[in-house]
Structure 1
Amino acid sequence: MSALLKHPLQLGLYHTLVTTHLPIRHLRISASAWTIASRESSIPQRYIGQPTSYTHQHLLRDDEITPGITAQEFRGRRHNLMSGIKKSMYSDCPHHVAVILAADTKYMTDEIPYPFRQNTDFLYLCGFQEPSSALVLESIAGSPLPDHKATVFVPQRDADRELWDGPRAGIDGALSFIGVDEAHVISDLSEYLDQYASREKLVVWYDVFRNVNSHLHKDVVSNLVTPCRNKGHAVNILQQLMHSIRVIKSPAEIQLMRESCSIASQAFVDVMRFTKPNINEANLYAKMDFEVRLNGAEFLAYPPVVAGGNRANTLHYVKNNQIVLGGDMVLMDAGCEYHGYASDITRTWPVSGRYTEAQASLYQSVLDVQQECLDMCEVGTTLDQIYHRMLNGLGQKLQDLGIVPKWMNNAELIRAAKKYCPHHVGHYLGMDTHDTPQVSRSNQLQAGIVITVEPGLYLPASDNDIPQEFRGMGIRIEDDVLITDRAPEVLTAECPKEMSLIESIMGGNL
């Protein structure tokens, strides 16, 4: 490795190297000269490939790396991860190294990329938005965990590529902006990882079976995982520990999720007002997408379900290209992503503006069960327990509606509920829509966790066992819920679900 670049004034040398295309791949920068107090002055005075307080003053404060999340919080996240490693079964091992990769760019066809979305574990730890980067966290010799060194590897600045793809942070921009200890170009990653196999008593933390970046994954396996295994070092999966940390949301994350849920809730109201008989599902999709973006979200959090009539009985219907007839209901499952945090809402409403008697009785049954589930959302309960409450409630409602026979016992009612609601009651929510999947639904809920609660009943038109008046109906009602030390906070409370409110909105009265 070459000499250290120790002071921001020396960045003039770096600028010269970039603009004259001299080789800089071995340049290493030390963060030791850049203190927290000097962060404001060290933020690059140029575009670096993602918003900064210099280029996007309307989005970020000087102390923020991503909107709403400060550099101090990102440091705290890395500290928490290394604290978790310290508490693991490998706590007596003196050397640890964790590698987290950024996602790579996906292409729909030659030179035409899909919109880039960063690997959320990587984004959570450092806030860096560029593809094909890497973060290495390692213990410091002679210093106990959670003390560690954080090193980021980023794409080299390249005037030709930046002409096409936009500006890159480079090692100076990455180091000064995200506040790690060292920064290198990504082409140095393999050589950097070579050093670890020769160490005594090392534990490697890397998600070997989760390939988020094909090229870099091969480098990590070839230069770190395989040599370390051959030397007898332990290689441990990182994601389970990561998700156990990510599932508890900080106050800043909760505020971002409140805003995400508020934007999506208001968009639902606008879509309901926009609905009319014989409308195309695609128009409702477009209206939802338009409204969330207009009100500050970056994009929809996932491909939405916009299912009219019997199509609501296809749980992940995303074709969204049919006409919704006047007597049908439409089920919409949609949410937005706001500065990296998702919302996830489902509502079902009548295209005509009023529920029929059969639609109203089925809808109210689902709504009643959802309220029972919401009442259970407290510290110490589990998602699985709420799920069993949902099955019991739906089974009883099916019997009350005459959809299943009166003679069925409780076990048979549970089976019927599973038939007509084949999904779980909910999932964790956060940076991903189905967030932290390594956290079991049997874990007790804690304050700071956000979950969805989404009971439904799906009665296909082809099921002749169902009374005629209910066939072809599919209803789901989904809200996002923050677990607190007190009563649960329904983050999507602004999105109406009482039938009288929905009918008033569609009638132009609200």
Structure 2
Amino acid sequence: MYKLITKSISKNYVPYSVCLCTSTVNTKLNEVGQGLRKIQPKTNEIKSYGQPTPDTHPHLLKPGEFTPGLTLAEFKSRRERFVDKLLSSSNTKKHCVVIPSAKKKYMSGKIPYVFRQNTDFMYMTGCLEPDSCLLLEIDNEKFTSTMFLRPKDKNMEMWDGVVTGLGDPGFFGVDQAIDIADLNNYLDLTFKSSQPDTLWYNTEESEFTRLTSTVKELVKSAWGANLLSPTNLIHQLRLYKSSAEQKLMQKTCQIASEAINETISWSNPDISEHHIFAKVDYECRMRNASYLAYPPVVASGQNATTIHYINNCQMLKSGDTVLMDAGCEYGGYTSDITRTFPVSKSKLSDAQRVLYEIVLETQKSLIRKLQEKAYSLDELFEIMCLELGKYLKEIGFIPKHLSGVDLARASYKYCPHHVSHYLGMDVHDTPSISRAIKLEPGMVFTIEPGLYISADNRVVSEEFRGLGVRIEDDALMLPNNKVQILTEACVKEIKDIER
């Protein structure tokens, strides 16, 4: 006769069950005892936080890094420089700055979108967790920093993963950590006790609706207190990339360049735009990008005349070109590249070649001018319009008598978008910064002229109708009017795209 005997083991042993014959219980128990696996005491336990660390994710982070390529010291320095900039821009000395994170967003019910952190919050903290907030309390030149976070909760963490919790504010390099649920009450008490002259909070873009209401009520009830947004001050810092950030920009641009090269070589007329989308996404991720930086434009044929075409569902046809606008995100920094190429390793048609050469030569001209003197992005846009206009007159798209402003306006109809935007943690980075300021060392920006000829345009000959071309590269401004093209590895010469 057999019995199932389960021996309860002390906490140093794994529970062990075995089926034994009762006639040989003693003998078998001795054998079982010898075979038990003893759990060794944990001497080098790796602590987990709400985001990767060099210990938990050594394939993502090198020793000493807080986020890929960046140290905790860099995030502390950003907060210090922010406070210095704030104080230098203000006549008062007591301030309260509230910078919230992003919140989780849901497709439907409990199905979340992939979380992406608010980039201003990310820039100031390096924190990747949702439902968080940074509070800076400034009194003259001294300030204290507080992170409001979700507390540890075993049930929640079983579903959503580990959170950092409140027990280790030093992990983020701040003075204290408090439960995010207490943020509104804490802010109310702090505002009333310290009576800051200005409360800095972006009421227009915050996803924390209750916090926004609290902030407005506090300022409304306070005598003489100001409510200002910290966004522009943060963007003034973000505009200039540190040496570590420049390396991250080089990396994300290199990844996207290689991925696009692979995708161009792989394209053929037996696939759809959606397959091109999937291919470039795959190639970026296989090079350790987190994901694509934005929904890519994969526009074949006359779809390329729709500037923000993202349906990406048409079949590729032999003889067509594909305009692909794609970039990736690596370590929180984005790339943004556009290439136009023929399907199936074919040659460009005469009309396709004419437009392509115009756009390519215009882009090269802009890059050359950047190395002569400092320009603003708006000035580059004006130059682009005039350059395109010059070529468009030659091929009969624009009347030959036009010049100056009239020429620029005429060519704008064929390229109705700006030639550049700032680039960094966001694709259209630091949007509060004017494009009228001169480019300076440390700024990263795009150079993206294009031409779009609608299918119903009767001014041009038939072979040009329905064609769209754009070429976009990412550039880093260096000292002495030097320009580094970060996406130089991505093919764009006709001999290379025709393969």
What TM-score do the two structures reach when normalised by structure 1? Answer: 0.86
1:396-407 alignment, distance < 5 Å:
396-407=390-401
Report 1:422-501 matches (<5 A).
422-486=416-480, 487-501=482-496
Q: Is residue 371 of structure 1 aligned with residue 364 of structure 2?
A: yes
Shift in Å, 1:434: 0.3
Range that drifts further, 318-327 or 226-235: 226-235
Q: Name the CA distance, whole Å, in 2 between partners of 1:44 and 1:444.
A: 52
Q: Which amino acid in the other structure matches residue 470 of structure 2? A: R
The partner residue of 1:226 within 217, 222, 225 is: 217
Matches within 5 A, 1:141-290: 144-145=140-141, 147-173=142-168, 175-194=169-188, 195-200=190-195, 202-211=197-206, 213=207, 216-222=208-214, 224-231=215-222, 232-290=224-282
Alignment-mate amino acid for residue 111 of structure 1: K
Decide whether aligned partners of structure 1 residues 302 and 81 sit closer, same or farther in structure 2, where only a CA change above 3 A counts: same
**What SS does the aligned partner of 2:203 have?**
coil
SS of residue in 2 equivalent to 1:420: coil
1:307 aligns with: 299
Take 2:101 and 2:123, find their aligned partners in 1: how far apart are those partners?
11
Between 400-409 and 65-74, the greater mean CA deviation after superposition: 400-409
Q: Does 1:61 align with 2:67?
A: no
Q: Residue 367 and residue 157 in structure 1: after superposition, are their counterparts in 2 closer, same or farther (change >3 A)?
A: same
TM-superposed CA distance for 1:158, in Å, is 1.2
Aligned position for 1:131: 130
The Cα shift of 1:429 comes to 0.1
The aligned residue for residue 83 of structure 2 is 82
TM-aligned CA deviation for residue 94 of structure 1 = 2.7
Q: What's the offset of the Cα at 1:138?
A: 1.2
Secondary structure class of the residue paired with 2:58: coil
* Distance across 1 between alignment mates of 2:303 and 2:497: 21
1:90-101 correspondence runs (5 A) = 90-91=90-91, 93-101=92-100
Contact 1:44 1:54 in 2 (8 A): no
3-state DSSP class of the match of 1:204? strand
Q: Does 1:119 align with 2:113?
A: no
Whichever residue aligns with residue 221 of structure 2, its letter is N
Give yes or no for contact 1:282–1:320 (8 Å, CA) kept in 2: yes
Deviation string 1:423-479 (CA, Å, 9 cap, x unpaired) is: 000100000000000000001111000000000000011111121121111000000
**Residue 198 (structure 1) shift:** 4.4
Q: Which runs of 5+ in 2 are unaligned?
A: 1-43
1:139/1:284 CA distance change after superposition, 3 Å: same
Once the two structures are aligned, what percentage of the paired residues are identical?
43
Deviations 1:474-510 (A, max 9, x none): 0000000000113200000000111012222xxxxxx
Look up the match of 1:358: 351
1:161 Cα deviation after fit: 1.1
- Counterpart AA for 1:335: G
Query: Could you give the per-residue CA deviations for residues 363-404 of structure 1, whole angstroms, max 9, x where no partner exists?
Result: 001111111111233573100010000000011111112222
- Where structure 1 has 5 or more consecutive residues not aligned to the other structure, the ranges are 1-42, 505-510
Matches of 2:46 and 2:213, distance apart in 1: 37
Aligned residues: 451
Deviation at 1:279, TM superposition (A): 2.4
Q: Deviations over 1:45-80 (max 9, x none)?
A: 322221011201222234221111101100000011
- Supply the distance in 2 between the matched residues of 1:201 and 1:49 (Cα, whole angstroms): 32
**Structure 2 CA distance for aligned equivalents of residues 242 and 428 of structure 1:** 14
SS of aligned partner of 1:66: coil
Q: What is the one-letter code of the residue matched to 1:313?
A: T
CA distance in 1, matches of 2:54, 2:360: 44
Q: Which residue of 1 aligns with 2:378?
A: 384
Provide the rounded CA distance (Å) in 1 between the counterparts of 2:467 and 2:144.
56
- Distance in structure 2 (CA, Å) of the matches to 1:133 and 1:44: 27
| 4+ long deviations beyond 6 Å | none
- Cα separation, 2, equivalents of 1:262 and 1:339: 13
Q: What is the rounded CA distance, in whole Å, between the counterparts of 2:442 and 2:404 in structure 1? A: 34
TM-score (norm 2): 0.88
1:341 aligns with: 333
Contact 1:44-1:176 at 8 Å conserved across structures: no
| Aligned equivalents of 1:401, 1:172: Cα separation in 2 | 69
Amino acid at match of 1:367: L
For the pair 1:297 / 2:323, whether they are aligned, the reply is no
Preserved contact between residue 240 and residue 439 of structure 1 (Cα < 8 Å): yes
The correspondence of residues 414-429 of structure 1 with structure 2, limited to 5 A, is: 414-429=408-423
What amino acid is the match of 1:445?
L
Pairwise CA distance, 1:200: 4.2
> 2:198–2:226: 8 Å Cα contact kept in structure 1?
yes
1:177 aligned partner, one-letter code? F
How many Å apart are 1:277 and its aligned residue?
2.1
Specify the code of the residue in structure 1 equivalent to 2:145.
Answer: A
1:165-205 CA distances to partner (integer Å, 9 max, x unpaired)?
A: 111110124x1321111101101111210121343452111
Contact 2:87 2:93 in 1 (8 A): no
Query: Letter of the aligned partner of 2:118 in structure 1?
Result: N
**Aligned partners of 1:409, 1:429: CA distance in 2, in Å?**
32
**1-structure distance, mates of 2:455, 2:45:** 60
1:264-312 C-alpha deviation (Å, 9 max, x unpaired): 0011110111111242001111000000000110100000000001000
Q: Hey, what's the Cα distance between the residues in 1 that align with 2:379 and 2:212?
A: 40
- The equivalent residue for 2:34 is none
Contact 2:398 2:411 in 1 (8 A): no
Amino acid at match of 2:379: Q
DSSP 3-state at the match of 1:59: coil
Q: Deviation per CA, 1:315-337, whole angstroms, max 9, x where unpaired?
A: 10000000121111000000000
Counterpart Cα distance in 1 of 2:304 and 2:272 = 14
Q: Considering only aligned residues, what root-mean-square deviation do their CA atoms show, in Å? A: 1.6
Task: Pick which of 69-78 and 278-287 moved more.
Answer: 278-287
Rounded Cα–Cα distance in structure 1 between residues aligned with 2:253 and 2:497 = 18
Is residue 71 from structure 1 mapped to residue 67 from structure 2 by the alignment?
Answer: no
Contact 1:204 1:225 in 2 (8 A): no
**Residue identity in the other structure for 2:77:** G
- Are the equivalent residues in 2 in contact too, given 1:44–1:177 (CA < 8 A)? no
The whole-number CA distance in structure 2 between the counterparts of 1:152 and 1:128 is 10
**Residue 21 of structure 1 corresponds to which residue in structure 2?**
none
Q: CA deviation at 1:416?
A: 1.7
